[in-house]
């Protein structure tokens, strides 16, 4: 099933969509079509909507049981540990986006979008607009493309109170040390937070404010242990760019140097080895690969699932 919503769009587009979908309210279309038809309809929407806005929501076989796409929206789609969420922009960002739309012609906007797409493909781990954290992806990409996957590495996973490293906090860190493909050590810590953990995060992770109050450790002390545990080892994680962004921001905020160790993403490794373009959650990946370790949104257990997935994928 799919749902398409249109705002400020040409009437001709609504008439076009009504050939395939039922318009249950003004600008709201629902129906059941194949994936190929769905993608063709979405392409037609983007080509015809002009300055209007469009949203596509459809059912799919993922952890969320759905997926969605946005066009001409101020909102941003964010990947949170394999879950797709929507982040509403600040008022200043909305003003900047509106100013850009007024200042650039359609042709100029197309050229800018193409440049941004190319830049994103080469700097996929770095938020070029906001991040001051150095990227180390060139050595990672060359190592992965040549099939050189380390047997000695450290698996890293964080649980956080939200998606924004500058506003939200790390609530749990899990690390595994692996030598010759075997786990030889582990480290896990709950971390005291300055703000209460939001209820949805408590429900997702099972980490409650009461647990943090009883067992949480000081962030600065945990960071020192993390640096010592990681050392100069390569890092492995699932959507590890998210974890590195939070970890390096916390290190910088506490007057420590950022971690620039080479790191490998099991999400990218899955796409390469399984010939898939889909961004996949850790839970879905472990199910597809038939792994024994299942993620639970607890840092150390998720590390175990990542480690098993990495060992299986690098042998493909």
Which string of DSSP letters, residue by residue, matches 158-218? Answer: EEESSS-TTTS-EEEEEEEEEETTEEEEEEEEEB--SSPPPHHHHHHH---HHHHHHH-B-
d(CA 208, CA 193): 11
pLDDT at 93: 57
Q: For 26-51, how does the pLDDT look when each residue is reduced to its tens digit (9 = 90+)? A: 889 999 988 888 988 888 888 888 88
pLDDT at 203 over 50: yes
Q: Per-residue pLDDT tens for 210-221?
A: 999 999 999 999
Helix (H) or strand (E) holding 156: strand 153-160
What length does the chain have? 316
Given this model, what pLDDT does residue 103 score? Answer: 54
What is residue 124's predicted lDDT score, i.e. its pLDDT? Answer: 39
Give the Cα separation of 233 and 180 in Å (integer).
13
pTM assigned to the model:
0.59
Q: What is the mean pLDDT of residues 52-79?
A: 83
Least confident of 135-144, 168-177, 225-234: 135-144
120: CB partners within 8 A, 6+ apart:
none
Contact 243, 237 (CB under 8 A): yes
Tell how far CA 168 is from the center of its chain. 15
Confidence at residue 3, expressed as pLDDT on a 0 to 100 scale: 94
Q: Which residues pair with 53 in a beta bridge?
A: 7
Which domains, ranges and CATH numbers included, belong to the chain?
Answer: 2-107 (3.30.70.240), 149-314 (3.30.420.10)
| pLDDT computed for residue 48 by the predictor | 86
106-to-44, 117, 301 alpha-carbon distances in Å = 17, 16, 48
CA dihedral 251, 255, 256, 260 (to 10 degrees): 60
Q: How confident is the model at residue 81 (pLDDT cuts 50, 70, 90)?
A: low
Per DSSP, the three-state class of 97 is helix
Q: What is the arithmetic mean of pLDDT over 48-60?
A: 88
Two tokens at 53?
């806005």
Q: For residues 300 and 174, is the Cβ–Cβ distance under 8 A?
A: yes
Task: List Cα–Cα distances, 110 to 104, 129, 148, 202, 299, in angstroms.
Answer: 10, 19, 38, 42, 41
pLDDT at 99: 61
How far is residue 68 from each of residues 20, 77, 113, 122, 254, measured CA to CA in Å? 19, 9, 20, 25, 37
Q: Among 13-17, 89-93, 209-213, which is the least confidently predicted range? A: 89-93
Residue 60, pLDDT > 70, answer: yes
In the prediction, which pLDDT does 169 show?
96
Instruction: Lowest mean pLDDT of 75-89, 131-145, 252-266, name the range.
Output: 131-145
Helix H segments across 104-149? 106-122, 137-145
Average pLDDT over residues 162-178: 95
Q: Please, what is the Cα angle at 285 between 282 and 287, to 5 degrees?
A: 110
């Amino acid at each position: 099933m799919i749902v398409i919503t249109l705002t400020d769009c040409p009437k001709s587009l609504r008439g076009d969509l009504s050939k395939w979908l039922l318009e249950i309210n003004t600008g709201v279309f629902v129906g059941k079509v194949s994936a190929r038809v769905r993608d063709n309809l979405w392409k037609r929407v983007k080509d015809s909507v002009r300055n209007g806005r469009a949203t596509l929501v459809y059912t799919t076989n993922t952890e969320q049981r759905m997926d969605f796409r946005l066009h001409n929206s101020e909102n941003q789609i964010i990947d949170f540990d394999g879950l797709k969420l929507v982040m509403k922009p600040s008022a200043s960002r909305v003003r900047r986006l509106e100013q850009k739309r007024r200042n650039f012609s359609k042709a100029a906007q197309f050229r800018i979008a193409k440049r941004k797409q190319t830049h994103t493909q080469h700097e996929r781990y770095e938020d070029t607009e906001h991040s001051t954290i150095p990227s180390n992806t060139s050595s990672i990409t060359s190592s992965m493309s040549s099939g050189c996957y380390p047997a000695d590495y450290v698996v890293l996973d964080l649980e956080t109170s939200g998606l924004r490293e500058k506003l939200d906090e790390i609530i749990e860190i899990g690390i595994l040390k692996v030598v010759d493909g075997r786990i030889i050590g582990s480290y896990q810590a709950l971390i005291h937070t300055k703000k209460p953990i939001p209820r949805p995060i408590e429900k997702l992770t099972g980490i409650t404010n009461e647990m943090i109050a009883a067992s949480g450790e000081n962030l600065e002390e945990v960071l020192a242990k993390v640096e010592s545990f990681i050392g100069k080892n390569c890092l492995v994680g699932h959507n590890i760019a998210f974890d590195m962004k939070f970890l390096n921001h916390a290190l910088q905020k506490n007057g420590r140097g950022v971690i620039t160790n080479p790191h490998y993403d099991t999400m990218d490794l899955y796409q390469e080895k399984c010939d898939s373009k889909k961004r996949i959650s850790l839970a879905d990946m472990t199910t597809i690969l038939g792994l024994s370790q299942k993620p639970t949104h607890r840092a150390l257990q998720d590390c175990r699932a990542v480690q098993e997935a990495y060992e299986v994928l690098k042998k493909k």
